[in-house]
Amino acid sequence: MDPPGLYDIIAYYRDMRTCVIYASKYGTTRECAERIADELGADSFDVRHARDIDLNAYDLVVLGSACYGGMVMPRMRRFVAAHLDELLSHQAALFLTGVFTGVKRDLEMNVAYPPSLRAHAIAYEFFGGRIDIDQISRLDRLALRGWGVTGDINSLDSRTIKLFLEKIKNSRQKPNY
């Protein structure tokens, strides 16, 4: 068998199927997921509508969730638990959105996804987040006050999103010829 030519490699990357599955409460994670999907030419699914998705139809699965109370959203936790073996058999990339920094952010990153999935991921980043205090529920406002957040926050970091995309593009596995 001849080694792959340039056109074979280009065709492989063009044909590599990618999906982005996300859990968003107020829209920031959805916006990030849509940006990633656009950049990668990927399909994008809200996790609420991804129950019956055939992950075997994809070469790369990107998961993203907002963090609340130090955890990914419950529907993302359920999706990951139900599909963990499938996710581990594909290339995977993970991202989180949230407003905490420093130690709180690091704790969220350490518990958000199962250790086996974090270790398997070709990219894993925390993008920061955005809160318009007047647009969130009273319960969320009360919880945020308990964590010391009393006003609007915009810590979304476009550079980190770009870095995440570069890691994915640089880490995509080429087929064995």
- Beta strands 153-154; 130-131: pairing state: antiparallel
C-beta atoms surrounding 10 within 10 Å:
11
C-beta atoms surrounding 126 within 10 Å:
22
Give residue 38's region: left, alpha or beta (phi > 0; psi -120 to 50).
alpha
Return the pLDDT at 172.
Answer: 66
Return the pLDDT at 164.
Answer: 96
The tens place of each residue's pLDDT in the chain, 177 residues long, gives: 555 554 444 445 446 799 999 999 888 999 999 999 999 999 999 999 887 889 999 999 999 999 876 788 999 999 999 999 999 999 999 999 987 777 777 777 888 899 999 999 999 999 988 878 778 788 877 877 777 777 767 778 899 999 999 999 888 655 444
Return the pLDDT at 160.
Answer: 94
Q: Are 164 and 128 in contact, with CB atoms under 8 Å apart?
A: no
Q: For the CA atoms of the chain, what is the radius of gyration? A: 17
Return the pLDDT at 84.
Answer: 96
Q: CA 42, 47, 171 angle in degrees (round to 5)?
A: 40
Return the pLDDT at 138.
Answer: 84
Return the pLDDT at 2.
Answer: 54
Report the chain's terminal Cα–Cα distance, integer Å. 8
Structural domains for the chain: 6-170 (3.40.50.360)
Return the pLDDT at 173.
Answer: 55
Q: What are phi and psi of 20, to 5 degrees?
A: -115, 120
134/144 Cα distance (integer angstroms)? 12
61/54 Cα distance (integer angstroms)? 11
14/49 Cα distance (integer angstroms)? 26
